[in-house]
Structure 1
């Protein structure tokens, strides 16, 4: 389209045409991104009608979040190849941002679901549920004292986060070994776990599980396990395998340890099986 370059616009008029501030045009002129067509004898800048289309392209690129440092070489000498390279680069960047935001969305949903589960749980009562196959990512087995201290757990947690390259905000739980449970050792962490995939984790087979929600201090967990095992037996089941602890409400959600909620999950089978 051919424009009539006899039609000229002052800086204010050109800015108003696009609904932007004059300062934007002055800044673009200063950095040599988009310069006026000329300067009048009185020192005022002016723009012409033929500059409307390229400036609209510039604004479109800015709306697409193309950085100014990438627009500078393009507008100095525009070409179809440069435009293709520019948009391809921006698409790659957007794909990376979408992937990051999707991960953030997933972590926020996990955190929300965990807290809500903790708030709505029925504490101190065993529930017998059917769970599907789940892939879990495990830490290496721990080497700690017979009773794992909070400081040791924090160190193991940090090592797990760093070595597994998982976000620090991931829900990380603890595994108590079947052998420790049989020996009534309820404060020794065998390893840590978090949600995984078929590519990154190991399969925890689905089946019949006992679920128990403990509200209160971690130091009272041994009483929670004793109560849980008593109820499992009364319901006609026996525990098999490891126990999985998930900290639904913990330090990040409450400064009061009495409000902490821990979910314990153990595979069970009928006592007559």
Structure 2
């Protein structure tokens, strides 16, 4: 399709051609981003087809979250080099956004799994499950006598270095060495943790290994956990399972409860199968 050089479109026609609202074109005119080719005595705005490429460039850059100021600067000095640099910069930002969205998707999948477990679970049941990938945990050491409040503050600050924007972007909980379980020390935790999306090659992270895990649940406040650990040790002996490494605890229903009496802690402990 071709248009004569003097072909004019009304603002409505030009907006429909590019599938945008007339108010968008009016705003672009007001801020000097895209002026109409002509304004008649009656105040009506008219555009030429040759302006389509400029408008499509603006729309593309806006979709890439380029600011109005940046677009104005680019239009004043349009060149292949300036567009390339702008697209490279926004490409990096887009990669960052995609990475964050993948983290959110993973978090959503885990939350969905937790909600499915909540609807179908038998809290008295213990099962052996296979974890098919490693998990990467930011930790704060509790062995130095730090208060829980201070540990949470440090953990949150540390996790921000891994592009976690909010607490709900990650799973978090506590770590209890299995050797302490076998000694009957059910409250001698070694660390608080917050999971960050992996894989990550960075020193200082605690790696929760993949493999077979004994999974159990405890309902109610943390005061009930020692009793549940006694049940776990008894079950492991009966099944010939050897616990190893650490017990990983995390709450799985904070978003849907009102009191600690309804709180559910998921416990996962690596096991050596008979």
Short-chain TM bin: 0.7 to 0.9
The 1:47–1:106 alpha-carbon spacing in structure 2 relative to 1, beyond 3 Å, is same
Q: Provide the residue aligned with 1:36 in structure 2.
A: 36
In 1, the alpha carbon distance for the partners of 2:25 and 2:111 equals 45
In 1, the alpha carbon distance for the partners of 2:246 and 2:53 equals 68
Q: Provide the residue aligned with 1:105 in structure 2.
A: 105
Deviation at 1:171, TM superposition (A): 1.0
Deviation at 1:92, TM superposition (A): 2.5
1:155 paired residue among 135, 150, 161: 150
Deviation at 1:75, TM superposition (A): 2.7
> Unaligned regions of 5+ residues in structure 2, if any?
none
Q: Provide the residue aligned with 2:246 in structure 1.
A: 242
The 1:121–1:75 alpha-carbon spacing in structure 2 relative to 1, beyond 3 Å, is same
Deviation at 1:207, TM superposition (A): 5.7
* Aligned-residue CA RMSD (Å): 3.5
Deviation at 1:172, TM superposition (A): 1.4
In 2, the alpha carbon distance for the partners of 1:138 and 1:63 equals 35
Q: Provide the residue aligned with 2:261 in structure 1.
A: 258
Q: Provide the residue aligned with 1:199 in structure 2.
A: 201
Secondary structure, aligned partner of 2:227: helix
In 1, the alpha carbon distance for the partners of 2:173 and 2:14 equals 60
Q: What's the CA shift string for 1:3-25, capped at 9, x where partnerless? A: 53443344455445545444333
Q: Provide the residue aligned with 1:215 in structure 2.
A: 219
Matches within 5 A, 1:37-56: 37-41=37-41, 44-56=44-56
Q: What's the CA shift string for 1:151-199, capped at 9, x where partnerless? A: x434323312212435322111212234532342323322123446462
In 2, the alpha carbon distance for the partners of 1:218 and 1:244 equals 14
Q: What's the CA shift string for 1:214-238, capped at 9, x where partnerless? A: 2233211121112222222233345
With normalisation by structure 2, the TM-score equals 0.76
In 2, the alpha carbon distance for the partners of 1:59 and 1:209 equals 51
Q: Provide the residue aligned with 1:185 in structure 2.
A: 185
4+ residue runs of structure 1 moved beyond 6 angstroms?
none
Secondary structure, aligned partner of 1:139: strand
> Unaligned regions of 5+ residues in structure 1, if any?
none
In 2, the alpha carbon distance for the partners of 1:208 and 1:40 equals 76
Deviation at 1:55, TM superposition (A): 3.5
| 1:211–1:265 Cα contact (<8 Å) kept | yes
In 1, the alpha carbon distance for the partners of 2:9 and 2:199 equals 60
| 1:9–1:47 Cα contact (<8 Å) kept | yes
Secondary structure, aligned partner of 2:141: coil
